[in-house]
Amino acid sequence: QQPVQSPQAVILREGEDAVINCSSSKALYSVHWYRQKHGEAPVFLMILLKGGEQKGHDKISASFNEKKQQSSLYLTASQLSYSGTYFCGTVTGNQFYFGTGTSLTVIP
């Protein structure tokens, strides 16, 4: 029931774009995205509700396709501060599950 994220890890140069995918085997009510820097607490980025909406947060945006039970996080013109591990979180019924995580490293 834990959502699967891909890729597991990605290395980018500053200014490059990245896409992180999150797939669930269960029907989804909503999808959350979080970023966690090493040794720190996860920080909430955004939530997407049913309806196929797309949301943005500075140069980070996301989409949610409830029919495919998938969500994607788009990072454009990446900055060094984007480095960290990204987790999706999915709500199925009344249970919340964090995804497997994607380690993103941005290098100069």
Shortest Cβ distance from residue 91 to another protein (Å)?
Answer: 3
Q: What are the residues binding another protein (CB under 8 A)?
A: 2, 29-30, 32, 34, 39-44, 46-47, 49, 87, 89-91, 94-101
Residues 6 or more apart whose Cβ sits within 8 Å of residue 39: none
Instruction: Give SS3 for 82.
Output: helix
* Nearer to another protein (CB atom), residue 29 or residue 74: 29
* Nearer to another protein (CB atom), residue 16 or residue 21: 21
Residue 22 CA to residue 76 CA, distance in Å, equals 18
